[in-house]
Structure 1
Amino acid sequence: MKVNENTAISTAGVLLVPYDSRHVPTYHAWMEDEAIRTATASDRLTLEEEYENQVSWRADADKLTFILCQPLAEKDTEGDSVAAGIDDAPGRMIGDINFFLYPYEEEEDGDRQGNQPETNTSQPLLYSGEVDVMIARPEHRGQGFGRAAVTAFLHYILEQNRAAILYEAVAAEATASPTTPTQTQPHQLKQLMVKIQATNEASIGLFKSLGFAQKGSVNYFGEVELTRSTLDAPAPTAYAEKVYKRTDA
């Protein structure tokens, strides 16, 4: 998504910056770890493929991503910008957090039924939003970065930029299918969801503590799905959206 292309999120617990090409070498090094690939259900990619992925993630209107970094020093929180390449230098990078938009579906009589009729333009477009977070560096796990990142991310999406995020997704769909009738009702986010390896008790516990509830049992891929239909998110301590300032642009 482009909605966060020039936006960083600063909180007392973590710094989130848009995923730029400068981050790719470090990200690729993380993904060389088989345990991380398994936990994130990711394929092993070459460095060149990872650069291509970064470009597509910026362009795709159904994906939103930030790189997680150590929080800004207190002296740096006063300004209205984050220094690209400095505040998010490789040694300060911790992991990433992602948001995927899907058409919302509900279960009826045991089957998955889409509740968005193709020809009924009086109904709103409904979406599910999947959240995915990774703390890549082992020394940073168990330090509260995951919780800080998810709470900041949810506030950014649900309270500050929900309309803009959904607008970008819907506008991209309209461009891709110009013959699709225009919806007369606003698009809506219906629920949040996460899919986590059943063995990852720490991550499951984190999301349950943030209001997510497990849905069903372990699936074929060894994952559990947790959902949340309450779509509010209070601001974390010292939340601020800042300009991601690139000096090499």
Structure 2
Amino acid sequence: MRKNMNTRINGANVILVPYQEKHVVKYHEWMKNPILQYLTGSEPLTLEEEFEMQKRWLEDEDTVAECTFIILDKCVFLSTGSETDAMIGDTNLFFNDLQETNIAEIEIMIADEAYRGKKRGWEAVILMMHYGFETLNINKFRAKIKSDNVMSINMFEKLGFREVEKSEIFQEVTLEKQASSDWMNWLHSELKSVIPNSH
């Protein structure tokens, strides 16, 4: 969305940057992977469609839209200066309901397998929720996750989310978390405990 066009969010091991044209080709290559398509519930797009989608996401004026950040590995970016080389995944906030602009569905994807299991997703999702709470006035977060994606379900449960719905048809569970200042303070303390890695 236009509101976050110039936003950069710095963490210990990741940097979140808005999804821009320079990221599209690598993102498109990721999304050719059938496993990532399955886990994210995505349909494969042509490269031209991906460019159109990126432009729409970035320039959308609506608050009821999608807020998308690309996740960069901080060490790689600092050593190469290249956002494309440093790309490891993305995180999104979806505003699905015109009547409920303070509720957002959150997604996280670590597309680069080398960075899974290294708390990059954990750090990125906390940074994203902090941004959503402080800047976009979100007071409830929702996550829809494939039932067999145990790692992701466990991560959100550790973040305080609780299951509210299970769909056999879509093979997914829905988890929610009511946001509060106390919870944000706890998330902030979790971020402080993340130790910067160096290659």
Which TM bucket (shorter chain)? 0.7 to 0.9
Q: Is 2:95–2:101's contact at 8 Å kept on the other side of the alignment?
A: no
Determine which of 200, 208, 211 is the counterpart of 2:160.
211
The equivalent of 1:56 in structure 2 is 56
Task: Kindly provide the amino acid, as one letter, of the partner of residue 14 in structure 1.
Answer: V
How far is 1:2 from its partner?
Answer: 1.1
Unaligned runs of 5+ in 1: 77-84, 105-115, 117-124, 164-188, 240-249
Say whether 1:225 aligns with 2:155: no
Task: Kindly provide the amino acid, as one letter, of the partner of residue 69 in structure 1.
Answer: L
Q: Is 2:76–2:86's contact at 8 Å kept on the other side of the alignment?
A: no
Inter-partner Cα distance in structure 2 for 1:126 and 1:3 = 14
Relative to the length of structure 1, the TM-score reads: 0.68
Inter-partner Cα distance in structure 1 for 2:139 and 2:95 = 11
Give the structure with the larger helix fraction: 2
> CA-to-partner distance for each residue in 1:85-144, whole Å, 9 max, x for gaps?
9241x221000000011338xxxxxxxxxxx6xxxxxxxx65321000100011111111
Unaligned runs of 5+ in 2: 195-199
The equivalent of 2:141 in structure 1 is 192
Inter-partner Cα distance in structure 1 for 2:75 and 2:122 = 17
SS at match of 2:166: coil
The equivalent of 1:172 in structure 2 is none
Q: Is 2:133–2:179's contact at 8 Å kept on the other side of the alignment?
A: no
The equivalent of 1:237 in structure 2 is 192
How far is 1:238 from its partner?
Answer: 9.8
Q: Is 1:126–1:190's contact at 8 Å kept on the other side of the alignment?
A: no
Inter-partner Cα distance in structure 1 for 2:17 and 2:82 = 9
CA 1:87–1:8 in structure 2 vs 1: closer, same or farther (change >3 Å)?
farther
Inter-partner Cα distance in structure 2 for 1:11 and 1:99 = 18
SS at match of 2:38: helix
SS at match of 1:57: helix
Inter-partner Cα distance in structure 2 for 1:155 and 1:238 = 16
**Identity across the alignment (%):** 35
Higher relative contact order (CA 8 A, sep 6+): 1
SS at match of 1:102: coil
Inter-partner Cα distance in structure 2 for 1:92 and 1:138 = 13
Say whether 1:144 aligns with 2:119: yes
Number of positions where the alignment pairs a residue of Structure 1 with one of Structure 2: 184
Q: Is 1:66–1:97's contact at 8 Å kept on the other side of the alignment?
A: yes
Say whether 1:22 aligns with 2:25: no
Task: Kindly provide the amino acid, as one letter, of the partner of residue 151 in structure 1.
Answer: I
Say whether 1:102 aligns with 2:77: no
Q: Is 1:195–1:226's contact at 8 Å kept on the other side of the alignment?
A: yes
CA 1:128–1:30 in structure 2 vs 1: closer, same or farther (change >3 Å)?
same
